Copies of this chain bind each other. A is one copy, B any other.
Amino acid sequence: MTRKATFYHAGCVVCISAEQGLAHALDPAALSVEIVHLGKDRSRIAEAEAAGVVSVPAIVIDNQAFHINFGASLADVRGAA
């Protein structure tokens, strides 16, 4: 049974590099990775924030937020309507 991982991004260059380099390198036998574009799916910003995400790109695994480099703050993603 795979655990769930959620990769939050906002389409930025740093985000795409982290998605391709890291999110796609996770073990599919262990983790089921969902990719969420917070710029497009703004209803999930609150969920990311609740999981401890403060900037994107970030990946949440087992309720732990791992921020990967720095693309944009969640406040900026929220602000960019």
Q: How many A residues face the partner with a CB closer than 8 A? A: 21
Does residue A13 face the partner (Cβ distance < 8 Å to B)?
Answer: no
Does residue A75 face the partner (Cβ distance < 8 Å to B)?
Answer: no
Q: Is the CB of B66 within 8 A of A18?
A: yes
State how many angstroms separate the Cβ of A14 from the closest Cβ of chain B. 10
Does residue A73 face the partner (Cβ distance < 8 Å to B)?
Answer: no
Q: Is the CB of B21 within 8 A of A64?
A: yes
A29 vs B26: C-alpha distance when bound (angstroms): 10
Which of chain B's residues has its CB closest to A70's CB? B67
State how many angstroms separate the Cβ of A36 from the closest Cβ of chain B. 17
List, in ascending order, chain B residues with CB within 8 A of A64's CB.
Answer: 17, 21
